[in-house]
Amino acid sequence: MSGLGKATNDGIVVSGMMSFVQALCMEAIAEGVEIAEQAARLLEIGCKVAQGYYFSEPLPPQGASELVSSRAQRVSSL
């Protein structure tokens, strides 16, 4: 299993937490996603919501609204 962060056991811990969350019929939000490989691994183990620098740097409220609107327009045009 590939690691997600800097620690050797990160991948094992995150997979275990996702199993726990799914067993409780809850949804997890991953924080601190910085690279594409982390985002891909999270999707593989069932985490559908994430945030971090991979997606965007911190933004003021107006900037966040514009980012969400622009991405929603791209998705709806597919």
What pLDDT is recorded for position 78?
59
Give the containing element (helix H, strand E) for 52.
Answer: none
What tokens appear for 11 in the block? Answer: 């991948």
pTM of the entire predicted model: 0.75
DSSP bridge pairs for 50: 30
φ, ψ of residue 44 to 5 degrees: the values are -60, -40
- Using CB atoms within 10 Å of the CB of residue 60, give its burial: 0 to 12 exposed, 13 to 18 middle, 19+ buried: exposed
The domain locations on the chain are 10-76
Task: Compute mean pLDDT per 10 residues along the chain, 78 residues long, and list them.
Answer: 68 93 96 93 94 93 91 72
What tokens appear for 17 in the block? Answer: 């937490």
Examine the residue annotation and report whether 31 is marked as an active-site residue of this protein.
yes
From 27, 31, 37, 57, the catalytic residue: 31
